[in-house]
Chains A and B, each alone.
Chain A
Amino acid sequence: MILFFNFKQKAEIFFLDNSSAAVDIGRDKKYHIILSPALYWIKKEKLPLKYLHEVKKIAPTLFEDILPKGEYSYFAYKEEDNFILFAYEDKEILALLEKKGISPTNIASISFSQTALDTSVEALKIDDERVLTKKEGMVVVLPALWFLDAQALQKHHFTPSKHTIKLEQFSHIIDTKTVYKLGVFLGAFIVILAVEYFTYYGVLQKLSQQKEQLFKQHKLKPTLIQNSAILTHYESVAVRQEKLREYISYILKAQLMKNEKITEIAYENKKLHIVLQGVQKDALQRIFTDFYKKKIALDIQEKANQLIVEVAL
Protein backbone atom coordinates (compact mmCIF):
# COMPACT_ATOMS: atom_id res chain seq x y z
CA MET A 1 0.00 0.00 0.00
CA ILE A 2 2.87 2.34 0.91
CA LEU A 3 4.64 1.47 -2.29
CA PHE A 4 1.54 2.23 -4.31
CA PHE A 5 1.17 5.55 -2.54
CA ASN A 6 4.82 6.40 -3.26
CA PHE A 7 4.38 5.48 -6.87
CA LYS A 8 1.38 7.77 -7.12
CA GLN A 9 3.35 10.58 -5.56
CA LYS A 10 6.06 10.29 -8.18
CA ALA A 11 3.81 11.62 -10.96
CA GLU A 12 3.92 15.39 -11.37
CA ILE A 13 1.22 17.76 -12.55
CA PHE A 14 1.65 19.11 -16.08
CA PHE A 15 -0.77 21.74 -17.41
CA LEU A 16 -1.01 21.14 -21.14
CA ASP A 17 -1.57 24.26 -23.18
CA ASN A 18 -0.09 25.65 -26.39
CA SER A 19 1.88 28.11 -24.27
CA SER A 20 3.21 25.47 -21.80
CA ALA A 21 6.97 25.13 -21.75
CA ALA A 22 8.41 21.91 -23.17
CA VAL A 23 10.00 19.52 -20.66
CA ASP A 24 13.10 17.43 -20.92
CA ILE A 25 12.24 14.25 -19.09
CA GLY A 26 13.61 10.81 -18.46
CA ARG A 27 12.01 7.55 -19.47
CA ASP A 28 10.62 6.77 -16.02
CA LYS A 29 9.15 10.14 -15.15
CA LYS A 30 5.34 10.26 -14.97
CA TYR A 31 2.92 13.16 -15.38
CA HIS A 32 -0.70 13.82 -14.53
CA ILE A 33 -1.68 15.81 -17.61
CA ILE A 34 -4.26 18.56 -17.04
CA LEU A 35 -5.79 19.68 -20.31
CA SER A 36 -6.23 23.40 -20.84
CA PRO A 37 -9.82 24.41 -21.79
CA ALA A 38 -8.30 25.48 -25.12
CA LEU A 39 -7.94 21.75 -25.93
CA TYR A 40 -11.53 20.67 -25.43
CA TRP A 41 -15.15 21.72 -25.75
CA ILE A 42 -17.47 21.47 -22.76
CA LYS A 43 -21.24 21.43 -22.27
CA LYS A 44 -23.45 21.19 -19.24
CA GLU A 45 -26.75 19.54 -20.08
CA LYS A 46 -29.79 18.32 -18.25
CA LEU A 47 -30.78 15.16 -20.06
CA PRO A 48 -33.62 12.70 -19.56
CA LEU A 49 -31.13 9.82 -19.50
CA LYS A 50 -30.06 7.58 -16.65
CA TYR A 51 -26.77 6.00 -17.76
CA LEU A 52 -23.47 7.54 -18.83
CA HIS A 53 -23.05 5.20 -21.80
CA GLU A 54 -26.35 6.50 -23.16
CA VAL A 55 -25.11 10.07 -22.76
CA LYS A 56 -21.79 9.26 -24.48
CA LYS A 57 -23.75 7.76 -27.36
CA ILE A 58 -25.65 10.97 -28.04
CA ALA A 59 -22.69 13.29 -27.24
CA PRO A 60 -21.67 13.75 -30.94
CA THR A 61 -25.20 15.06 -31.69
CA LEU A 62 -25.07 17.51 -28.79
CA PHE A 63 -21.77 18.97 -30.01
CA GLU A 64 -22.39 18.86 -33.76
CA ASP A 65 -23.42 22.53 -34.01
CA ILE A 66 -20.31 23.94 -32.36
CA LEU A 67 -17.46 21.60 -33.32
CA PRO A 68 -15.18 22.37 -36.27
CA LYS A 69 -14.47 19.51 -38.67
CA GLY A 70 -12.30 16.79 -37.10
CA GLU A 71 -12.11 13.37 -35.38
CA TYR A 72 -13.48 13.78 -31.86
CA SER A 73 -13.71 11.62 -28.79
CA TYR A 74 -16.29 12.24 -26.10
CA PHE A 75 -16.36 12.03 -22.31
CA ALA A 76 -19.09 12.66 -19.77
CA TYR A 77 -19.79 12.47 -16.07
CA LYS A 78 -22.73 13.32 -13.89
CA GLU A 79 -22.69 16.30 -11.56
CA GLU A 80 -25.82 16.55 -9.40
CA ASP A 81 -28.74 16.66 -11.91
CA ASN A 82 -26.61 17.62 -14.87
CA PHE A 83 -24.30 15.84 -17.22
CA ILE A 84 -20.94 17.49 -18.01
CA LEU A 85 -19.92 16.56 -21.54
CA PHE A 86 -16.53 16.96 -23.20
CA ALA A 87 -15.37 16.74 -26.80
CA TYR A 88 -11.68 16.59 -27.64
CA GLU A 89 -9.37 15.64 -30.48
CA ASP A 90 -6.99 12.82 -29.51
CA LYS A 91 -4.71 13.56 -32.42
CA GLU A 92 -4.35 17.25 -31.47
CA ILE A 93 -3.61 16.48 -27.81
CA LEU A 94 -1.11 13.76 -28.72
CA ALA A 95 0.65 16.08 -31.14
CA LEU A 96 0.87 18.81 -28.50
CA LEU A 97 2.17 16.32 -25.90
CA GLU A 98 4.85 15.24 -28.34
CA LYS A 99 5.72 18.88 -28.99
CA LYS A 100 6.13 19.39 -25.25
CA GLY A 101 8.46 16.39 -25.02
CA ILE A 102 6.04 14.00 -23.31
CA SER A 103 5.60 10.55 -24.77
CA PRO A 104 2.58 8.31 -23.99
CA THR A 105 4.74 6.20 -21.63
CA ASN A 106 5.36 9.26 -19.44
CA ILE A 107 1.66 9.84 -18.86
CA ALA A 108 0.11 8.69 -15.58
CA SER A 109 -3.31 10.18 -16.31
CA ILE A 110 -5.07 12.80 -18.41
CA SER A 111 -7.86 14.92 -17.00
CA PHE A 112 -9.62 18.15 -17.84
CA SER A 113 -8.99 21.50 -16.08
CA GLN A 114 -12.71 21.38 -15.33
CA THR A 115 -12.27 18.49 -12.92
CA ALA A 116 -8.73 19.12 -11.68
CA LEU A 117 -8.65 22.86 -10.92
CA ASP A 118 -8.75 23.92 -7.28
CA THR A 119 -12.12 25.63 -6.86
CA SER A 120 -11.03 28.23 -4.28
CA VAL A 121 -8.93 30.20 -6.76
CA GLU A 122 -10.61 33.03 -8.72
CA ALA A 123 -8.24 33.49 -11.68
CA LEU A 124 -4.88 32.02 -12.64
CA LYS A 125 -2.54 33.41 -15.27
CA ILE A 126 -1.71 30.98 -18.04
CA ASP A 127 0.45 33.56 -19.82
CA ASP A 128 0.44 37.35 -20.22
CA GLU A 129 -2.73 37.33 -22.29
CA ARG A 130 -4.91 34.59 -20.80
CA VAL A 131 -6.21 33.48 -17.44
CA LEU A 132 -7.92 30.34 -16.23
CA THR A 133 -11.07 31.00 -14.26
CA LYS A 134 -14.43 29.48 -13.28
CA LYS A 135 -17.60 30.97 -14.64
CA GLU A 136 -20.98 29.50 -13.68
CA GLY A 137 -19.23 26.32 -12.63
CA MET A 138 -17.29 25.94 -15.88
CA VAL A 139 -13.52 26.35 -16.10
CA VAL A 140 -12.79 28.68 -19.01
CA VAL A 141 -9.96 30.71 -20.53
CA LEU A 142 -10.53 34.50 -20.53
CA PRO A 143 -8.38 37.52 -21.44
CA ALA A 144 -5.89 38.45 -18.72
CA LEU A 145 -6.92 42.10 -19.00
CA TRP A 146 -10.17 41.29 -17.19
CA PHE A 147 -8.31 39.93 -14.15
CA LEU A 148 -5.51 42.27 -13.22
CA ASP A 149 -4.95 40.66 -9.81
CA ALA A 150 -4.73 37.08 -11.17
CA GLN A 151 -2.12 34.82 -9.59
CA ALA A 152 0.41 32.86 -11.65
CA LEU A 153 -0.73 29.32 -12.48
CA GLN A 154 1.12 26.79 -10.27
CA LYS A 155 1.12 23.00 -10.09
CA HIS A 156 -0.47 23.04 -6.64
CA HIS A 157 -3.58 24.68 -8.09
CA PHE A 158 -4.52 21.31 -9.55
CA THR A 159 -5.44 18.03 -7.94
CA PRO A 160 -5.44 14.91 -10.17
CA SER A 161 -9.05 14.05 -10.87
CA LYS A 162 -10.82 10.69 -10.88
CA HIS A 163 -12.40 11.69 -14.20
CA THR A 164 -9.60 10.73 -16.55
CA ILE A 165 -9.55 9.98 -20.25
CA LYS A 166 -7.47 7.64 -22.42
CA LEU A 167 -6.30 8.95 -25.74
CA GLU A 168 -6.91 6.93 -28.87
CA GLN A 169 -3.52 6.99 -30.55
CA PHE A 170 -4.61 5.53 -33.83
CA SER A 171 -8.20 6.69 -34.05
CA HIS A 172 -7.28 8.92 -37.00
CA ILE A 173 -5.84 5.91 -38.88
CA ILE A 174 -8.42 3.27 -38.02
CA ASP A 175 -11.75 3.55 -36.29
CA THR A 176 -11.87 1.87 -32.84
CA LYS A 177 -15.04 -0.02 -33.75
CA THR A 178 -13.33 -1.42 -36.83
CA VAL A 179 -10.37 -2.49 -34.67
CA TYR A 180 -12.70 -4.33 -32.28
CA LYS A 181 -14.61 -5.91 -35.17
CA LEU A 182 -11.33 -7.03 -36.72
CA GLY A 183 -10.22 -8.35 -33.34
CA VAL A 184 -13.45 -10.32 -32.92
CA PHE A 185 -13.13 -11.66 -36.47
CA LEU A 186 -9.52 -12.74 -35.96
CA GLY A 187 -10.36 -14.19 -32.56
CA ALA A 188 -13.25 -16.18 -34.02
CA PHE A 189 -11.01 -17.40 -36.84
CA ILE A 190 -8.39 -18.52 -34.31
CA VAL A 191 -11.06 -20.36 -32.33
CA ILE A 192 -12.25 -22.13 -35.52
CA LEU A 193 -8.65 -23.12 -36.34
CA ALA A 194 -8.11 -24.30 -32.76
CA VAL A 195 -11.27 -26.42 -32.90
CA GLU A 196 -10.15 -27.84 -36.24
CA TYR A 197 -6.67 -28.51 -34.79
CA PHE A 198 -8.08 -30.41 -31.79
CA THR A 199 -10.40 -32.40 -34.06
CA TYR A 200 -7.42 -33.47 -36.18
CA TYR A 201 -5.45 -34.15 -33.01
CA GLY A 202 -8.21 -36.47 -31.78
CA VAL A 203 -8.28 -38.37 -35.09
CA LEU A 204 -4.48 -38.59 -35.03
CA GLN A 205 -4.49 -40.07 -31.52
CA LYS A 206 -7.20 -42.56 -32.43
CA LEU A 207 -5.37 -43.66 -35.57
CA SER A 208 -2.09 -44.07 -33.65
CA GLN A 209 -3.87 -46.34 -31.17
CA GLN A 210 -5.49 -48.30 -34.02
CA LYS A 211 -2.07 -48.74 -35.61
CA GLU A 212 -0.61 -50.10 -32.37
CA GLN A 213 -3.63 -52.36 -31.96
CA LEU A 214 -3.29 -53.65 -35.52
CA PHE A 215 0.08 -55.31 -34.90
CA LYS A 216 -0.88 -56.49 -31.40
CA GLN A 217 -4.08 -58.05 -32.72
CA HIS A 218 -2.16 -60.18 -35.25
CA LYS A 219 0.69 -60.93 -32.81
CA LEU A 220 3.19 -59.18 -35.05
CA LYS A 221 6.34 -57.21 -34.21
CA PRO A 222 5.69 -53.75 -32.74
CA THR A 223 7.07 -51.64 -35.61
CA LEU A 224 6.28 -51.39 -39.29
CA ILE A 225 9.98 -51.65 -40.21
CA GLN A 226 10.38 -54.97 -38.40
CA ASN A 227 7.21 -56.37 -39.97
CA SER A 228 8.18 -55.11 -43.43
CA ALA A 229 11.54 -56.89 -43.10
CA ILE A 230 9.77 -60.15 -42.16
CA LEU A 231 7.34 -59.70 -45.05
CA THR A 232 10.25 -59.20 -47.49
CA HIS A 233 11.76 -62.46 -46.19
CA TYR A 234 8.49 -64.34 -46.70
CA GLU A 235 8.04 -62.83 -50.17
CA SER A 236 11.48 -64.04 -51.24
CA VAL A 237 10.72 -67.47 -49.73
CA ALA A 238 7.47 -67.60 -51.73
CA VAL A 239 9.20 -66.61 -54.97
CA ARG A 240 11.96 -69.19 -54.43
CA GLN A 241 9.53 -71.96 -53.52
CA GLU A 242 7.49 -71.23 -56.63
CA LYS A 243 10.62 -71.37 -58.78
CA LEU A 244 11.75 -74.60 -57.14
CA ARG A 245 8.45 -76.28 -57.95
CA GLU A 246 8.52 -74.87 -61.49
CA TYR A 247 12.11 -76.10 -62.13
CA ILE A 248 11.36 -79.54 -60.68
CA SER A 249 8.40 -79.79 -63.06
CA TYR A 250 10.81 -79.04 -65.95
CA ILE A 251 13.12 -81.82 -64.71
CA LEU A 252 10.22 -84.28 -64.44
CA LYS A 253 9.29 -83.45 -68.04
CA ALA A 254 12.84 -84.28 -69.24
CA GLN A 255 12.90 -86.37 -72.42
CA LEU A 256 15.50 -89.06 -71.82
CA MET A 257 16.76 -91.68 -74.26
CA LYS A 258 17.06 -95.29 -73.26
CA ASN A 259 20.62 -95.11 -71.91
CA GLU A 260 20.20 -91.68 -70.34
CA LYS A 261 19.10 -91.25 -66.71
CA ILE A 262 18.84 -88.70 -63.89
CA THR A 263 20.57 -90.15 -60.84
CA GLU A 264 20.20 -87.31 -58.40
CA ILE A 265 18.15 -84.18 -57.80
CA ALA A 266 19.27 -81.98 -54.91
CA TYR A 267 18.32 -78.56 -53.64
CA GLU A 268 20.27 -76.64 -51.03
CA ASN A 269 21.41 -73.04 -50.46
CA LYS A 270 19.20 -71.67 -53.22
CA LYS A 271 20.77 -73.98 -55.82
CA LEU A 272 19.29 -76.94 -57.65
CA HIS A 273 21.63 -79.75 -58.77
CA ILE A 274 20.75 -82.40 -61.29
CA VAL A 275 23.13 -85.30 -61.86
CA LEU A 276 22.71 -87.11 -65.18
CA GLN A 277 24.33 -90.26 -66.47
CA GLY A 278 24.91 -91.32 -70.05
CA VAL A 279 24.14 -87.84 -71.29
CA GLN A 280 26.25 -85.80 -73.68
CA LYS A 281 26.52 -82.08 -73.12
CA ASP A 282 24.91 -81.25 -76.45
CA ALA A 283 21.91 -83.43 -75.61
CA LEU A 284 20.91 -81.13 -72.74
CA GLN A 285 18.92 -78.79 -75.00
CA ARG A 286 16.71 -81.73 -75.94
CA ILE A 287 16.40 -83.03 -72.38
CA PHE A 288 15.75 -79.72 -70.61
CA THR A 289 13.77 -77.93 -73.32
CA ASP A 290 11.88 -75.73 -70.85
CA PHE A 291 15.03 -74.38 -69.23
CA TYR A 292 16.38 -73.38 -72.64
CA LYS A 293 13.05 -71.99 -73.84
CA LYS A 294 12.81 -69.74 -70.79
CA LYS A 295 16.49 -68.84 -71.08
CA ILE A 296 17.30 -70.02 -67.56
CA ALA A 297 21.06 -70.12 -67.06
CA LEU A 298 22.47 -73.62 -66.49
CA ASP A 299 25.89 -74.26 -65.04
CA ILE A 300 27.13 -77.50 -66.55
CA GLN A 301 30.05 -79.58 -65.27
CA GLU A 302 31.34 -82.90 -66.58
CA LYS A 303 32.69 -85.37 -64.03
CA ALA A 304 33.76 -88.86 -65.08
CA ASN A 305 30.70 -90.32 -66.77
CA GLN A 306 28.39 -87.78 -65.18
CA LEU A 307 26.99 -84.45 -66.17
CA ILE A 308 26.18 -82.10 -63.28
CA VAL A 309 23.72 -79.32 -64.06
CA GLU A 310 23.33 -76.47 -61.54
CA VAL A 311 20.47 -73.93 -61.59
CA ALA A 312 20.43 -70.94 -59.30
CA LEU A 313 17.09 -69.95 -57.77
Chain B
Amino acid sequence: MNRVNPLHIILLLIVVLFFAFFKLAGIKSELKELQQEYKKSQKVAEELVSYKKLYGNRKRVQKALQKIVSQRSLQSANIKLLQRPNSLEIKSASMKLNELNSLISKILNGSYEIKRLKIKSLDATHASIAVEIAW
Protein backbone atom coordinates (compact mmCIF):
# COMPACT_ATOMS: atom_id res chain seq x y z
CA MET B 1 0.00 0.00 0.00
CA ASN B 2 3.03 2.29 -0.37
CA ARG B 3 1.14 4.19 -2.98
CA VAL B 4 1.30 7.95 -3.45
CA ASN B 5 -1.91 9.49 -2.27
CA PRO B 6 -3.53 11.54 -5.09
CA LEU B 7 -4.53 14.18 -2.55
CA HIS B 8 -0.85 14.60 -1.66
CA ILE B 9 -0.13 15.16 -5.33
CA ILE B 10 -2.91 17.76 -5.46
CA LEU B 11 -1.43 19.42 -2.39
CA LEU B 12 2.00 19.39 -4.02
CA LEU B 13 0.54 20.86 -7.21
CA ILE B 14 -1.13 23.61 -5.17
CA VAL B 15 2.21 24.39 -3.50
CA VAL B 16 3.92 24.41 -6.92
CA LEU B 17 1.13 26.64 -8.24
CA PHE B 18 1.65 29.12 -5.40
CA PHE B 19 5.38 29.01 -6.02
CA ALA B 20 4.80 29.63 -9.74
CA PHE B 21 2.50 32.57 -8.89
CA PHE B 22 5.12 33.97 -6.52
CA LYS B 23 7.91 33.62 -9.09
CA LEU B 24 5.74 35.14 -11.83
CA ALA B 25 4.80 38.10 -9.65
CA GLY B 26 8.49 38.55 -8.82
CA ILE B 27 9.65 38.54 -12.43
CA LYS B 28 6.78 40.87 -13.42
CA SER B 29 7.79 43.46 -10.86
CA GLU B 30 11.47 42.95 -11.82
CA LEU B 31 10.57 43.60 -15.45
CA LYS B 32 8.54 46.68 -14.51
CA GLU B 33 11.50 48.05 -12.56
CA LEU B 34 13.87 47.30 -15.43
CA GLN B 35 11.53 48.98 -17.93
CA GLN B 36 11.43 52.10 -15.76
CA GLU B 37 15.21 51.97 -15.35
CA TYR B 38 15.63 51.52 -19.10
CA LYS B 39 13.41 54.54 -19.80
CA LYS B 40 15.41 56.55 -17.28
CA SER B 41 18.67 55.32 -18.81
CA GLN B 42 17.46 56.34 -22.26
CA LYS B 43 16.60 59.81 -20.99
CA VAL B 44 19.92 60.15 -19.17
CA ALA B 45 21.83 58.89 -22.23
CA GLU B 46 20.07 61.32 -24.58
CA GLU B 47 20.59 64.30 -22.28
CA LEU B 48 24.17 63.31 -21.55
CA VAL B 49 24.98 62.96 -25.23
CA SER B 50 23.57 66.41 -25.98
CA TYR B 51 25.42 67.98 -23.01
CA LYS B 52 28.63 66.27 -24.06
CA LYS B 53 28.22 67.65 -27.55
CA LEU B 54 27.68 71.08 -26.02
CA TYR B 55 30.34 71.24 -23.31
CA GLY B 56 32.40 68.07 -23.47
CA ASN B 57 33.49 68.08 -27.10
CA ARG B 58 37.13 69.20 -26.99
CA LYS B 59 37.58 69.19 -30.76
CA ARG B 60 34.48 71.30 -31.37
CA VAL B 61 35.47 73.86 -28.71
CA GLN B 62 39.06 74.12 -29.94
CA LYS B 63 38.02 74.43 -33.57
CA ALA B 64 35.36 77.07 -32.85
CA LEU B 65 37.61 79.20 -30.65
CA GLN B 66 40.46 78.96 -33.14
CA LYS B 67 38.08 80.23 -35.79
CA ILE B 68 36.96 83.15 -33.59
CA VAL B 69 40.45 84.39 -32.71
CA SER B 70 41.75 84.05 -36.24
CA GLN B 71 39.14 86.43 -37.56
CA ARG B 72 40.57 89.36 -39.43
CA SER B 73 38.81 91.89 -37.15
CA LEU B 74 40.72 90.50 -34.14
CA GLN B 75 44.14 90.09 -35.72
CA SER B 76 45.55 93.33 -34.29
CA ALA B 77 44.50 92.29 -30.76
CA ASN B 78 47.45 89.91 -30.44
CA ILE B 79 45.32 87.16 -28.95
CA LYS B 80 47.08 84.08 -27.62
CA LEU B 81 45.60 80.63 -27.20
CA LEU B 82 47.02 78.66 -24.29
CA GLN B 83 46.31 74.97 -24.36
CA ARG B 84 45.69 73.17 -21.01
CA PRO B 85 44.79 69.48 -20.42
CA ASN B 86 41.07 70.18 -19.89
CA SER B 87 40.73 73.75 -21.02
CA LEU B 88 41.90 76.43 -23.38
CA GLU B 89 42.75 80.02 -22.42
CA ILE B 90 42.27 83.03 -24.66
CA LYS B 91 44.45 85.90 -23.61
CA SER B 92 45.18 89.38 -24.81
CA ALA B 93 47.24 91.90 -22.83
CA SER B 94 45.68 94.82 -24.67
CA MET B 95 42.96 95.10 -27.23
CA LYS B 96 40.67 97.82 -28.51
CA LEU B 97 37.20 98.02 -26.98
CA ASN B 98 35.47 97.22 -30.29
CA GLU B 99 37.65 94.13 -30.62
CA LEU B 100 36.81 93.19 -27.05
CA ASN B 101 33.10 93.57 -27.78
CA SER B 102 33.37 91.39 -30.86
CA LEU B 103 35.35 88.69 -29.03
CA ILE B 104 33.25 88.60 -25.88
CA SER B 105 29.92 88.59 -27.73
CA LYS B 106 31.08 85.65 -29.84
CA ILE B 107 32.14 83.71 -26.73
CA LEU B 108 28.99 84.54 -24.77
CA ASN B 109 26.73 83.63 -27.67
CA GLY B 110 28.42 80.27 -28.15
CA SER B 111 27.87 77.15 -26.03
CA TYR B 112 31.08 77.07 -24.04
CA GLU B 113 31.79 76.39 -20.42
CA ILE B 114 33.46 79.57 -19.21
CA LYS B 115 35.57 78.53 -16.26
CA ARG B 116 37.32 81.82 -15.69
CA LEU B 117 36.96 85.32 -17.10
CA LYS B 118 38.79 88.56 -16.47
CA ILE B 119 38.25 91.80 -18.37
CA LYS B 120 40.23 94.78 -17.17
CA SER B 121 39.98 98.28 -18.44
CA LEU B 122 43.42 99.70 -19.31
CA ASP B 123 42.36 103.14 -20.52
CA ALA B 124 39.40 104.72 -22.27
CA THR B 125 39.97 102.70 -25.47
CA HIS B 126 41.84 99.55 -24.43
CA ALA B 127 41.27 96.57 -22.17
CA SER B 128 42.93 93.25 -21.35
CA ILE B 129 41.10 89.93 -21.41
CA ALA B 130 41.69 86.39 -20.20
CA VAL B 131 39.02 83.71 -20.71
CA GLU B 132 39.40 80.06 -19.81
CA ILE B 133 37.03 77.68 -21.61
CA ALA B 134 36.78 74.16 -20.22
CA TRP B 135 35.42 70.88 -21.70
Contacts and interface: CB of A to CB of B under 8 A. Distances in A.
A203 interface: yes
B31 A200 contact: yes
Interface string A169-193: 1100010100110110011011001
Interface in A232-251: 234-235, 237-238, 241, 244-245, 248
A107 B1 contact: yes
B64 interface: no
A108 B112 CA distance: 90
Given A210-B38, A231-B48, A268-B116, A197 B121 contact: no
A18 interface: no
Interface stretch (A47-55, A116-124, A222-230, A281-289): A222-230
Contacts, number: 135
Nearest to A176: B6
Given A104-B1, A183-B10, A211 B24 contact: no
Interface string A92-111: 00000000000011111110
Given A186-B13, A268-B116, A169 B41 contact: no
Given A105-B1, A167-B1, A204-B34, A237 B55 contact: yes
Interface stretch (A81-89, A213-221, A302-310): A213-221
A244 B114 contact: yes
A237 B55 CA distance: 9
B114 A241 contact: yes
Interface stretch (A70-78, A140-148, A153-161, A257-265): A257-265
A197 B30 CA distance: 12
Contacts of B120: 263-264
Nearest to A185: B13
Contact of A182 (B1, B10, B114): B10
Interface string B61-94: 0000000000000000000000000000000000
Interface in B22-66: 23-24, 27-28, 30-31, 34-35, 37-38, 40-42, 44-45, 47-49, 51-52, 54-56
A211 B31 contact: no
Nearest to B6: A179
A264 B1 CA distance: 103
A303 to B, nearest CB: 16
Contacts of B119: 264-266
Contact of A180 (B1, B6, B24): B6
A310 to B, nearest CB: 14
Contacts of A104: 1
A309 B34 CA distance: 51
Given A186-B17, A190-B13, A208-B34, A110 B1 contact: yes
A276 to B, nearest CB: 11
Looking at B14, B23, B48, the one whose CB has the most chain A CB atoms below 10 A away is B48
Given A104-B1, A190-B13, A234 B55 contact: yes
A107 B1 CA distance: 5
Contacts of A186: 10, 13-14, 16-17
A231 B51 contact: yes
Contacts of B27: 197, 200-201, 204
A145 to B, nearest CB: 36
A218 B49 contact: yes
Nearest to A204: B31
Contacts of B20: 190, 193-194, 197
A266 B113 CA distance: 15
A45 interface: no
Contacts of A230: 48
